[in-house]
Amino acid sequence: MGPSDARALADFLKVVDLTLSGLDAPTVRLWVERGDEGEVVASTGYEISADREHALIRSVAVDPSLRSAGRGGDLARFAFERAAEEGACTAWLFSRRSGPFWRGLGCVPADRYELANVLGETCQVRLFKETGQLDREVAWSRPLT
Ligand SMILES: CC(C)(COP(=O)(O)OP(=O)(O)OC[C@H]1O[C@@H](n2cnc3c(N)ncnc32)[C@H](O)[C@@H]1OP(=O)(O)O)[C@@H](O)C(=O)NCCC(=O)NCCS
């Protein structure tokens, strides 16, 4: 994602109801896919922990009109691969609505407070702690090695 993608990505993430926190943070890696008209049709990314051991997968989303064709799985695997290349050993994520999707990618239910402990400095965890959303979240994890 380049600077010119930031506004369009934020608009897209609002539509798919995902968090906008920290989109410009230096620890956050994001990719966007554009459609024929230049509109954002999909995104993926992660935020890496300070020790680079853990990656918080985030912003994995596909435009509703393009779902159920394998794109979401490809984007999630792309994020896992890039995070592993960067040295992360474990991928973590929050997802209340798409558990079966993440299970299909090898993720298992995880302790949300353990996630918040190992990724405590990430934008998403800080926001979820501040707002109390952490207590309502569902966490998942998957080894990357
Ligand atoms: C989750 C999401 C990225 C999946 O995108 P997609 O392009 O439909 O994904 P795929 O086509 O690769 O789906 C793979 C499988 O997961 C299933 N699946 C996808 N979303 C699902 C959901 N919300 N609940 C249950 N199953 C789901 C699909 O049915 C498919 O299974 P199948 O191949 O056996 O039919 C998409 O639904 C989305 O953008 N959701 C809103 C954003 C979101 O919640 N992101 C996750 C948190 S970061």
CATH number of the domain encompassing residue 129: 3.40.630.30
How many domains would you assign to the chain? 1
Quote helix, strand, coil % in the chain, to nearest 5. Answer: 40, 25, 35
Does the pLDDT at position 145 exceed 90?
no
Evaluate: CB of 67 within 6 angstroms of ligand 1.
yes
Strand, coil or helix: 135: helix
Residue 139 in this model has a pLDDT that exceeds 90: yes
Q: Which atom of ligand 1 is nearest to the CA of 74?
A: 12
Among 62, 75, 101, which is best to mutate for testing ligand 1, by the most ligand atoms less than 8 A from CB?
Answer: 101
Q: Is 19 in the pocket of ligand 1 (CB under 6 A)?
A: no
In the chain, % of residues over pLDDT 90? 97
What pLDDT shows up at residue 3? Answer: 85
**pLDDT value, residue 111:** 98
- Looking at the CA of residue 97, tell me the nearest atom of ligand 1: 23
pLDDT (mean) for 25-33: 96
Q: For ligand 1, say whether the CB of 104 is within 6 Å of any of its atoms.
A: yes
Q: Is residue 75 pLDDT above 90, yes or no?
A: yes
With a 6 Å cutoff on the Cβ, whether 77 touches ligand 1 is no
Range of the domain at 94: 3-143
Instruction: Evaluate if residue 89 carries a pLDDT over 90.
Output: yes
What is the residue whose two structure tokens read 């912003």? 59
The residue type at 107: C
pTM: 0.94
